[in-house]
Structure 1
Amino acid sequence: MAMTERRITKIGNSLGLTLPNDVLKAMNVKKGDEVQVELVDNQIVIKKVPKMIPLPDGVPSDFFDRLEEEMEAHHEALKGLVDR
């Protein structure tokens, strides 16, 4: 994707910028979607917030947090299974 320059504009009482359509399409972001904005090493990182789905009865609310922790803890073993 080619680099593009944008101008910071006034939006209400805030400042903001618009994003090119090709960037929004590549991120699969549409009007009304939520994004996370983070400053990393003096660069702005924008990520689409995944939509949450309701968990089935009996599944604890921290299920995905625990799953992610386990996947990180066993990353190398899980990666090895992919190659089999």
Structure 2
Amino acid sequence: MNRVMNMERKVTKLGNSLGITMTDALKQIGLNQGDSVLINVNEAAGEIIIKKSTKVALPDGLGEDFIDTLSAVINEYDQTLQGLKDR
């Protein structure tokens, strides 16, 4: 079910931070305490978009440094890799 939920909430102080509560909306997209989210801020439009993070756990033996290096190589050789793919 793709139901759009409209809510109005007040910004409150949570410790030293500002925050809002939206438990029902978070549960609707399957988020629970401790889950990671991606936050996109569009200042010009006055929007904050919160998405469930789809971060994948790395296999044993692969560290963050490997992923960073792989990402750099893919970015550097993107056109070459695209050309190989399209052959």
Q: TM-score, normalised by structure 2?
A: 0.57
Report the 3-state secondary structure (helix = DSSP H, G, I; strand = E; otherwise coil) of the residue aligned with 2:38. strand
Change in CA separation of 1:57 and 1:16 when aligned onto 2, cut-off 3 Å: closer
Aligned counterpart in structure 1 of residue 36 of structure 2, from 34, 37, 40: 34
Equivalent positions of 1:1-84 (< 5 A) are 1-21=4-24, 23-40=25-42, 41-55=45-59, 61=67, 62=70, 66=74
Deviates more, 1:36-45 or 1:6-15: 36-45
Misfit runs of 4+, over 6 Å: none
Q: TM-score, normalised by structure 1?
A: 0.59
Report the 3-state secondary structure (helix = DSSP H, G, I; strand = E; otherwise coil) of the residue aligned with 2:28. helix
Percent identity (aligned) = 30
Aligned residues: 69
Structure 1 residues 46-79: Cα deviation after superposition (integer angstroms, max 9, x where no partner): 0112242223668x6337xx5xx79xx6xxx9xx
Question: For residue 32 of structure 2, what is the amino acid of its counterpart?
Answer: K
- What is the alpha-carbon root mean square deviation over aligned residues? 3.2
Ranges in structure 1 where 5+ consecutive residues have no aligned partner: 78-84
